Amino acid sequence: MAEQLKFLYSKSYIEKLAFDIKKNYDNFDPKAFVNSIFDTSWRNLELKQRMRHIAITLNKYLPLSYKKQLEILKEVKKDFTGLEAMIFQDFVEVFGLDDFDESMKALEVFTQDASSEFAIRQFILKYEEQTMNQMKIWAKSKNEHLRRLSSEGCRPRLPWAISLPLFKQNPTKALEIIELLKNDKSLYVRKSVANNLNDISKDNPQLVIKFVKENLGSTKELDWICKHASRTLLKKGDKQILELFNFDKSHHINLIDFCYDKSVKIDENLSFSFEINSDENIGNIRVEYVIYYLKSNNIHNKKVFMISQNEIKSSSKKFTKKQSFKNMTTRKHYLGKHFIAILINGEEILKEEFYLNDTSN
C-alpha cells in the first residue's frame, strides 16, 4: 500500500526545513520550531492540515515583517520542490492577503516546480479583477510554470481546493485565460487548459461545446485539448459532443455473447466479456461499461468506466474486463443487487443484474 501523502512531512523533512531557515536567519530557534511542529495535534492532522500547521508555526518563529519573512522563505524554497514545497504557498495564502504585490512576487517564485494553484484562489476571491489581470500577464510569460498557474489557478472546481463560485456561475474570465493558452507549446500547460474546460463543462456545458465547435480540427494539439476537455460530457452521453467527435453512429453495431458473473463477493472481481460486430467496419466508437452500485439508502449510484475509444477498422471486436469490489476509503460496497450495463457511443445497449455477497458465505 502506498504511503499516505501526509507522511511527506516527516521529522527529517521538518529538521531540514529548520536547518535551512537557520542558515538564512540567525535568530531562528530550530529546536523549538521542530518541537512546536510535533505537538499533540500533529498525529491526527491530514495533509493540508499539516501544511497549514507548518505555515502558522513558521510565522510564529519568524517574528519579522511579511516582506522580510518572504525574503527568507524564497531562499529556503530553493532546496524544496513538488508537493513538499507547497507549505511556502500556504504561508502566502494565510499571511499575505493584505499585501497583494509582495504576495504575487512570492507566488511567482514558489510556483516553480511546486504549483501555487491553491494559494492564488484566495486572491481571486478577494481581488478578482486585480488577480485575473496578473494571471493574464503570467499567461504570456516565457516560463511554463507561470503560464500553467494562470490556467490551473482559475479552474472553477480545482480538486482539493476551494471552489470559485462566481466562475462556476460565469466562467468568462477563465475562458479569457484559456484563449491565451489554448495553443501553448507546453503539454504541461495544455493539460491544465483541458482540465479547466472540463471543470467549466460541469456547470456550463454549452460554453465548452461552443469551444469544441470553434477549435476542433484546427491542430492535433487543439484536438487533444478538445477531447480531454469533453471527457465529462462524453461520459454523460451528451448528444452534441458525441456528434462532434463522430461518436453518434452506432445503429449498425450489434452486441453479442455477453457473459458475466451473476454473483461476486466482497474483495473479488466481477468478470465480464462481450463482442461487438457489424456487417461493415465498426468505425469510430466509444465503448464503456456502467456499474450501478447499491448504496446504503437502497438507491443505485451510476458510475461509468471507459473500455475503448478509437476507430475499429474491422467488423468485430471482443472485450474482456473485470471490476474490483474491494472496499476502499473512497468507495464502500454494500451487499445486494447491483447492475452492470454496456454503453456504445453513449447509448445503453444492455443492462443486467448481479449480486454482491459477503466473503464469509
pLDDT of 281 higher than 90: no
Q: Are residues 266 and 302 in the same domain?
A: yes
Residue where one domain finishes, among candidates 213, 244, 275? 244
Residue where one domain finishes, among candidates 208, 224, 244? 244
Q: How far, in Å, are 57, 139, 258, 273, 348 from residue 341 at the CA level? A: 52, 43, 10, 12, 7
Q: Are residues 158 and 61 in the same domain?
A: yes
> What Rg do the C-alpha atoms of the chain give, in angstroms?
25
Chain segment 70-81, per-residue pLDDT in tens:
999 999 999 998
Q: Are residues 22 and 52 in the same domain?
A: yes
In a domain, 249, yes or no: no
* Mean pLDDT confidence for 238-245: 93
Chain segment 108-155, per-residue pLDDT in tens:
999 998 899 999 999 999 999 999 999 999 999 999 999 999 999 999
Q: Provide the domain count of the chain.
A: 2
**Predicted TM-score (pTM) of this structure:** 0.85
Q: Are residues 149 and 195 in the same domain?
A: yes
Reading the block at residue 110, the C-alpha cell is 514558489
Residue where one domain finishes, among candidates 226, 244, 262? 244
* Mean pLDDT confidence for 250-255: 82
* Structural domain span for residue 37: 5-244
Backbone angles phi, psi at 163, to 5 degrees: -80, 170
CB neighbourhood size of 114 (10 A): 20
Q: What is the mean pLDDT of the chain?
A: 94
In a domain, 19, yes or no: yes
Q: How far, in Å, are 48, 175, 212, 214, 264 from residue 223 at the CA level? A: 35, 17, 8, 11, 40
d(CA 90, CA 94): 6
